[in-house]
Amino acid sequence: MKIIKDLFKIEKKPRKGLLAVEWVIMGYLLLTTLLVLFTFTKLPHPEALLWGRFRVVMLTLAMWVVYRLVPCRVTHFCRIGVQMLLLSWWYPDTYELNRIFPNLDHHFAAYEQWLCGCQPALLFAQAITHPVFSELMHLGYSSYYSLIGLVTLFAFFFRYKEFDRTVFMILVSFFIYYVIFVLLPVTGPQYYYQAVGIESIAAGVFPDLGHYFATHQEALTMPGWNDGFFYQIVENAHTAGERPTAAFPSSHVGVTTILMFLAWRLRSKWLFWGMMPLYVLMCFATVYIQAHYVVDVIGGWVSAIVIYGVLHFLWGKICAIKK
């Protein structure tokens, strides 16, 4: 009963303005709005992009009003929850913006060949075809949003003083990756291999496709046991919202690495070690299902360390200013 009372208890010192994370999101919205305006004639549906951004602003302000009317933990959580749900809208939006730039997959496939001497995304699923292994890979990949929700809810219910910091780290890291995805158009193996042809990829031929993906979204059939439960979850998610975008660095690897840092920071051994098997599966699965090159995974690890360090520093500054 005490937990329920705490959820609806009116805060003595409610937050007056936008949350730090909401300001960052508004900054991303402004940045991408300017990009839409400057490239207006090159975009297929610029009006829809602008209208979508207007709705995000209105929804953010509406949630602020709700919180100000009833300033408690529940309405605070709802403000954050809305922004997390909007991530699924922002992700395909990166494709609408980055397809005005020429594709860069030929560089990354060449880096992959130089680093590994082959294309692991092409060979991994061919080398291990057992249904159990396939399901483990797709389980790892499909756990992405579940892990985000788990860390967020754990911080909210059991480490409330760390809640704002936790969601700041999660959401801002997403928008940092989205900026990279807009400016660095890399589609990943599932799209690039399909466009070039498997025979050319196997022969080490990686042509420059220019603006091909501005008008093409065909992808390879996802490898693995296609009757598997977790295979179907990933397949349905890809069908619903996947686009030829967001390959480098791997935000799946980057964000889940940041989640591991946060789980450790939240001082919960069961949370950290409970997430570890899914995190390991995630890192392998991104290559297995042909969503990413190995260099994308490495980029995810490196970027996660940098982003976490920078955001940790910024959060300290934000807290110091509030005091």
The pLDDT of residue 240 is 81
The pLDDT of residue 320 is 80
The pLDDT of residue 8 is 81
**Chain position carrying tokens 């860069």:** 104
CA dist 294 → 111, 177, 209, 248, 290 (Å): 10, 17, 21, 10, 10
The pLDDT of residue 241 is 80
The pLDDT of residue 150 is 97
Q: For the chain, which residues score pLDDT lower than 50?
A: none
The pLDDT of residue 97 is 94
Find, among 110, 138, 120, the residue nearest to 287 by Cα: 120
Give 218-235 pLDDT, tens digit per residue: 999 999 999 999 999 999
Give 99-157 pLDDT, tens digit per residue: 999 999 999 999 999 999 999 999 999 999 999 999 999 999 999 999 999 999 999 99
What count of other Cβ atoms lies within 10 Å of the Cβ of residue 54? 12
Amino acid identity of 184?
A: L
Mean pLDDT of the chain: 94
Indicate the pTM of the whole model: 0.95
CA dist., res. 270 & res. 254, Å (int):
21
